[in-house]
């Protein structure tokens, strides 16, 4: 199976940057061989947000509050103190007094700011809770990154929690629908422009930015492979239901694994079992499974994952945005890392705009930095910091609900049974 260039009905779905290859390296060896004096990235930043999750009141009001923070390693307490809070809401009553939009409210001696925004009642007939959540989440995160970015050090490295782009919002901004007209919402339009501005900043400064996807859910590649089999008269499906299962199968298998030797040329191809067998015999006893990181080369995914309407994997799919770089520079690129955490096989997807990783040198630096982070921690330490300071506790969520004391929460049996699950919207 070749992943050099994968097409579906004439459209390029996946393209390998270099020859499709996989590598493996010992976490212990990576830590022992690291030389901090040669590390080009001295400061790691991470962006994350906490959410109340959408609150639905029995009067038909939907509200979600998201709270974004950026952490750093080494720690910068002034940076950690800065927060952006966004309250997003929707009501079927266009004159709802609870949804008065505001300008930025600055507080905590200028370190924090908050804003209330509303989605017009005529724009949504379906998926209201999801849209209210996405607008609050991505507006708070994108605005906070823009708020902070001029403070980033030149030798910094930014990790976003989750995908590089707001994919769900991009989808509904781009496809025709009479029930979900979020593309006409000014805040949604501003969110996509914000992400383009963020990428422009990082391409200009050459400060890397990556999206760290803990639970990849894409199915575009396996769907394209199934279509390719059909076209070739092979009426048999691939044995995976998602792209992450496919990559995990490759990265776990001893038939496809070689040793990373710090060479700029891929030394093992997933298309070449013969060379992999030689590599395995040489390093068969060198690595312990729980001590091993396996990873792929970089790929570019120029077309979006969602059905057939999306023709780009960048925010430029919306088509009305200002941008400083070539359209291809915003296309999504990624590589996959496999690790073992608490005895369980885990896949992470590292996303980056193509405009940043066109240079082989930058690809090597970003790959090396992410592998080093994952050799030390289950997830990058700074991302854990950001999660900790951005998280909205259950007590704080209850306080928020009490602010709407004249309204009643619209309850159902699941709320009684499961309570408030922080992971529900992750």
Q: Which pLDDT score, from 0 to 100, does residue 420 have? A: 60
3-class secondary structure, 92: coil
Mean predicted confidence (pLDDT) in 78-92: 95
Q: Report pLDDT for 36.
A: 75
Average pLDDT over all residues of the chain: 84
CA atoms within 13 A on the CB side of 148: 29
pLDDT at residue number 382: 97
| E-strand stretches of 198-331 | 209-213, 292-296, 299-301
CA gap 349, 347 in Å, rounded: 7
Contacts of 22 (CB under 8 A, 6+ apart): 250, 251, 256, 257, 258, 268, 270, 294, 295, 296, 297
Q: What is the pLDDT of residues 1-60, one digit of tens each?
A: 568 998 877 788 899 998 899 999 999 999 988 777 678 999 999 999 999 989 888 888
- What's the pLDDT score for residue 264? 36
- Does residue 259 or residue 166 have the better pLDDT? 166
pLDDT at 424 over 80: no
For residues 55 and 62, the answer to whether their CB atoms sit within 8 Å is: yes
> What pLDDT sits at residue 273?
31
Mean pLDDT along residues 398-405 = 78
pLDDT score at 417: 66
- From residue 20, alpha-carbon distances to 1, 77, 289 in Å are 10, 42, 23
CA nearest to 184, candidates 95, 91, 137, 121: 121
Assign 342 to helix, strand or coil. Answer: coil
Q: For residue 208, what pLDDT is reported?
A: 98
- pLDDT above 60 (res 248): yes
The arithmetic mean of pLDDT across residues 351-379, rounded, is: 96
Question: Helices (H) and strands (E) in the chain — how many of each?
Answer: 13, 15
Q: What is the reported pLDDT for 101?
A: 80
Q: What average pLDDT does this structure show over 179-200? A: 96
What angle (nearest 5°) sits at the alpha carbon of residue 373, between those of residues 371 and 378? 100
What is the percentage of the chain residues whose pLDDT exceeds 70?
A: 83
DSSP state of 40: S
Which of 98-102, 119-123, 187-191, 201-205 shows the lowest per-residue confidence on average (mean pLDDT)?
A: 98-102
**Stretch 258-269: mean pLDDT, rounded?**
34
């Amino acid at each position: 199976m070749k992943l050099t260039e994968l097409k579906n009905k004439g459209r390029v779905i996946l393209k390998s940057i270099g020859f499709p290859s996989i590598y493996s390296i010992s976490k212990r060896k990576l830590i022992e061989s690291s030389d901090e004096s040669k590390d080009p990235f001295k400061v790691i930043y991470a962006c994350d947000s906490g959410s109340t999750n959408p609150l639905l009141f029995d009067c038909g009001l939907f509200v979600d509050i998201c709270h974004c923070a950026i952490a750093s390693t080494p720690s910068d307490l002034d940076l950690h103190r800065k927060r952006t809070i966004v309250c997003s809401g929707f009501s079927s009553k266009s004159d709802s007094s609870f949804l008065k939009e505001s300008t930025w409210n600055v507080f905590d001696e200028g370190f924090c700011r908050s804003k209330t925004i509303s989605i017009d009642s005529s724009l949504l007939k379906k998926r209201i809770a999801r849209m209210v959540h996405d607008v609050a989440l991505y507006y708070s995160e994108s605005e906070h990154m823009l708020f902070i970015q001029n403070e980033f050090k030149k030798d910094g490295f930014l990790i976003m929690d989750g995908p590089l782009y707001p994919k769900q919002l991009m989808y509904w901004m781009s496809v025709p629908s009479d029930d979900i007209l979020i593309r006409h919402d000014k805040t949604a339009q501003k969110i996509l422009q914000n992400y383009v501005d963020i990428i422009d900043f990082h391409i200009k400064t050459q400060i890397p930015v990556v999206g760290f996807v803990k639970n990849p859910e894409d199915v575009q590649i396996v769907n394209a492979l199934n279509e390719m089999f059909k076209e070739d008269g092979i009426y048999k499906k691939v044995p995976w239901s998602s792209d992450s299962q496919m990559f995990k199968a490759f990265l776990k298998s001893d038939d496809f694994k070689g040793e990373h030797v710090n060479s700029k040329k891929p030394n093992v191809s997933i298309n070449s079992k013969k060379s992999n067998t030689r590599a395995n015999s040489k390093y068969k006893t060198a690595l312990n499974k729980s001590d091993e990181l396996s990873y792929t080369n970089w790929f570019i995914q120029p077309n979006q994952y969602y059905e057939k309407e999306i023709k780009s994997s960048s925010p430029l799919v919306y088509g009305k945005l200002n941008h400083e770089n070539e359209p291809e520079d915003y296309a999504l690129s990624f590589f996959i890392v496999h690790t073992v955490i608490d005895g369980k096989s885990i896949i992470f997807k590292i996303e980056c705009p193509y405009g940043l990783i066109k240079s082989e040198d930058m690809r090597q630096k970003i790959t090396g930095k992410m592998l080093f982070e994952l050799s030390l921690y289950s997830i990058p330490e700074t991302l854990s910091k950001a999660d900790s300071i951005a998280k909205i506790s259950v007590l704080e969520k209850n306080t928020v609900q009490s602010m709407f004391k004249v309204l009643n929460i619209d309850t159902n049996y699941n709320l009684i049974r499961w309570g408030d699950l922080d992971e529900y919207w992750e």
